[in-house]
Chains A and B, each alone.
Chain A
């Protein structure tokens, strides 16, 4: 059996973009976040999800396609900025909405389903 670091997770049918180690790290983050959220301020739940997105983006960036790398770069750039506004609910919501729109635009631009319509 190969060492864990040599194993890869099939993330999408097109290719393998995160290692098993990275997948396990993300799982640990998600599970422990679920527990911590019971004690943390409610808004932290949203921040933890952004943090998970950042971590996944960081893991994927080396092996993702050039198109997806654009999205990952956007998330890695914008997520810390969004999180820094958590104290201002309106600004946080606005920036998060903006990030959601950017993600949706990426999905539309790079979706074969939409392109085929």
Chain B
């Protein structure tokens, strides 16, 4: 494995909020889902389920109930927590482990999309109840995050926050805070 290639992929990935209408191939989406499968999972419990969407009408409806979805993606993956998979010792539905799994799966998928020449952008501002209805989700599946996937538009992606200098040093303290 070329470690530098992996590190470059991590450092060059960006959240993409503007996408073209170039289709995303099924095989690309499968590769992205494969990356999610290899994400670390708390206790290896596999508490997540994924709903992959390519159909344009479903994407259109999904965008209609997702105020945070500024992009018009050509594909999307909805990451759901499966409440039935929460281990008995962690019956609290707000147990943080499964949320951490959501983030880990998201990051793996974003890096995979970037490696494939695609862009991706996470969305959390959506109506869970509306998405549940649109995607016919059973009660045990809670949609937590939508990852939009598509080819990035040329030009400025209009970041949510002004560009600021952030380094690992500015985020890190050694040994003690």
Binds A, one of B27-35, B61-69, B99-107: B61-69
Q: Does A36 contact B (CB under 8 A)?
A: yes
A32, B126: Cβ atoms closer than 8 Å: yes
Hey, which chain A residues are within 8 Å of B159, CB to CB?
84
A33, B67: Cβ atoms closer than 8 Å: yes
Given A29-B64, A32-B127, A32-B130, also A51-B70 (CB < 8 A): yes
Q: Kindly state the separation between the CA atoms of A48 and B127 in the bound complex, as whole angstroms.
A: 14
Q: Does A90 contact B (CB under 8 A)?
A: no
Q: Does A116 contact B (CB under 8 A)?
A: no
Q: Does B158 contact A (CB under 8 A)?
A: yes
Query: What 1/0 mask marks residues of chain B from 46 to 68 whose CB sits below 8 Å from any chain A CB?
Result: 00000000000000100011111
B68, A36: Cβ atoms closer than 8 Å: yes
Q: Does A6 contact B (CB under 8 A)?
A: no
Given A36-B126, A44-B125, also A85-B64 (CB < 8 A): no
| A34 → chain B closest CB, angstroms | 9
Residue count of chain B within 8 Å CB distance of chain A: 17
* Chain B residues touching A, majority SS: loop
Hey, which chain A residues are within 8 Å of B66, CB to CB?
32
Task: Among A33, A35, A84, A87, point to the contact of B158 (Cβ < 8 A).
Answer: A84
| B126 → chain A closest CB, angstroms | 7
B50-100: which have CB < 8 Å to A? 60, 64-68, 70
A25, B64: Cβ atoms closer than 8 Å: yes
Q: Kindly state the separation between the CA atoms of A32 and B130 in the bound complex, as whole angstroms.
A: 8
Q: Kindly state the separation between the CA atoms of A25 and B61 in the bound complex, as whole angstroms.
A: 8
B162, A40: Cβ atoms closer than 8 Å: no
Q: Does A88 contact B (CB under 8 A)?
A: yes
A36, B162: Cβ atoms closer than 8 Å: no
Q: Does B160 contact A (CB under 8 A)?
A: yes
Q: Find the A residue at minimum CB distance from B66.
A: A32
A51, B158: Cβ atoms closer than 8 Å: no
Q: Does A80 contact B (CB under 8 A)?
A: yes
| A51 → chain B closest CB, angstroms | 7
Q: Does B161 contact A (CB under 8 A)?
A: yes
24 residue pairs bridging A and B, Cβ less than 8 Å apart: A24-B64, A25-B64, A28-B64, A32-B64, A32-B66, A32-B126, A32-B127, A32-B130, A35-B127, A35-B129, A36-B67, A36-B68, A36-B125, A36-B126, A44-B125, A48-B67, A51-B70, A80-B158, A83-B158, A84-B159, A84-B160, A84-B162, A87-B160, A87-B162
